[in-house]
Structure 1
């Protein structure tokens, strides 16, 4: 039992798939570990603060022994029976009658540190190790090994809407673990899963950057397409105005030609000279030919612009879309995000695959 002075050692049965809990006693600046929910609850009644799941211990492996100092309340953990027995010879007491309190095994190292006048500290968090070392604690190496937390890689799908197209770009954002090992969607920096959550955070940041880049490219592609359509509308309006002006000129010269032909006919009836009127009529006809030619050209320009606009609308907007699927390793420690970026630029669709992989430890 954790540092309630005078209590006898507790006998515990080793269980399969053990969860190791961590408690902290502020008055003694001590950390304590146990897989017993009864022991955890009991110690909390005597001033110990529960800090959550420390790690998962395997159901079999190398024995971890625990001894107890009845004077200071400190607990000592080691895989060395010789080292544990040496503390007993120095006045410490066996916990669990000298049997294993849990097992060492797996791939996650749990480090031990010591500082003169202070109880030993144990943590799988390498960031915490370095932080304590900077405060004068001596690194004593790996005390034993634990297994990784059981990660189900739960995630939320995040949509990026800078481009205002919610369905175009999305990416997973993986959940973090709180101090009890429960999945949560917001980042939490706790001693228990600090390294683990930091790895998730960095992975999520990388995933978010891929999505943000794709979303910005999507915005650019859509904006460029919209600008092309707007430019065509402006050019079409200008071309239509030019066509209207040319048609008005054609109509004007047709009226002038009709009038001039009437003048010539009247002059001929009255026996008057028609040379001047005929010269003017010839000039009007030349001008009419010119404006008719201009009308044909401007109408062709308008028709080409209209066809281009209709083709642009029929083809649809350019875009950049990002989709993904997820694969996990057999041991569930590695996850790979397989992105596929579909680019539609100038009406042509190309696909650009890419992968991001994360291997998690705490």
Structure 2
């Protein structure tokens, strides 16, 4: 864009670092914001010359506020030569009323830029203070809480077209909490540089607010998947632990059954020896034979119990080996990213894979954010 023609009129406003200007409006104008601590004033201009000029007189440059369209509703600017305040409005009648009250026109009463687009710029007023203008709804609410009166939307702007940038973090699924990740999108500082931390500034307020809300949603998706992942692994680990406990108990039961079998076998062998000795000496064997028969019954029962307990142990062992062979349960979150042609909309396409008892199911979902609201 070529530089605009600017004519300065020196006045009390110029001494304050302000100016009455004449400018030719061009397409895609970048609107800058400056702040003057003396008087607590905000100033907006699309003129790089005027921006640099005012900075020499104590104004602080706060960055690119938005872009004005090449056509649309005229935005008029007047200024107070006594206080140095600038007033912006799309109402020619309202601007003229300030001039009638002693204010002066900027740009000879012509538009200093245009109102258009989808980004609202709000105006607030507080008795004894200059008007304030901001596209940052969070800033609007903050000022309102400090006693500023909301005067609605002053005009509309085109927010700077920005690229989505993000820190790519791929999923992992170890048996630990905190291991499921999603991309975290970068914010912008007042110079348009990508930063990892949220900044609530006027320059890229809507952009950063949209990124913040999107990152919060992404973090919640990751947290939910991570918790589900942890639960799945805990459940699998608990199953394995329960099997270990049951196996230990089953082994103890098998050992007890084996001890009974061994005990009754010893008693039977001993009783058979008694019967053999009684027969050699011609003594009665009926009592010893009855006892031997009882021992044999007890042995048969003990062998049956041993067979059952051994079968129970073997079944538990097979279940444990199968659980280990199947592998741990898990929740795995994977994703890919797509963007719209105009780069205003970005969508995260998630796929959550759940593995439970060897069976894997997939659950797709999407999260979308739009920069222009």
TM-score class, shorter-chain normalisation, is: 0.7 to 0.9
Deviation per CA, 1:103-146: give whole Å up to 9, x if none: 43321122334556544432222343455556665655443321
Q: Is the CA contact (8 Å cut-off) linking 2:13 and 2:82 kept in structure 1?
A: no
346-355 or 286-295, which moves further after superposition?
A: 346-355
**Separation of aligned partners in 2, 1:311 and 1:6:** 80
Q: Is the CA contact (8 Å cut-off) linking 1:68 and 1:92 kept in structure 2?
A: yes
Deviation per CA, 1:21-72: give whole Å up to 9, x if none: 2111121222111234443333222111222221123355555454444443
97-106 or 250-259, which moves further after superposition?
A: 97-106
Please give the secondary structure, in 1, of the residue aligned with 2:169: strand
CA shift at 1:229, angstroms? 0.5
Alignment gaps of 5+ in structure 2: 1-11
CA shift at 1:8, angstroms? 6.2
TM-score (norm 1): 0.83
**Separation of aligned partners in 2, 1:45 and 1:161:** 54
TM-score (norm 2): 0.81
**Cα-Cα RMSD:** 3.5
**Matching residue of 2:44:** 33
CA shift at 1:306, angstroms? 0.5
**Matching residue of 1:98:** 109
Q: Is the CA contact (8 Å cut-off) linking 2:172 and 2:181 kept in structure 1?
A: no
CA shift at 1:278, angstroms? 2.0
**Separation of aligned partners in 1, 2:166 and 2:88:** 36
CA shift at 1:228, angstroms? 0.9
Structure 1 302/140 Cα, relative in aligned 2: closer, same or farther at 3 Å? Answer: closer
Q: Is the CA contact (8 Å cut-off) linking 1:5 and 1:70 kept in structure 2?
A: no
Q: Is the CA contact (8 Å cut-off) linking 2:18 and 2:84 kept in structure 1?
A: no
Alignment gaps of 5+ in structure 1: none
**Matching residue of 2:251:** 240
CA shift at 1:236, angstroms? 0.7
Deviation per CA, 1:327-360: give whole Å up to 9, x if none: 3333333333333322223333222233333333
CA shift at 1:198, angstroms? 3.5
CA shift at 1:150, angstroms? 2.3
Please give the secondary structure, in 1, of the residue aligned with 2:331: strand
Q: Is the CA contact (8 Å cut-off) linking 1:6 and 1:70 kept in structure 2?
A: no
**Matching residue of 1:276:** 287
CA shift at 1:102, angstroms? 3.9
214-223 or 70-79, which moves further after superposition?
A: 70-79
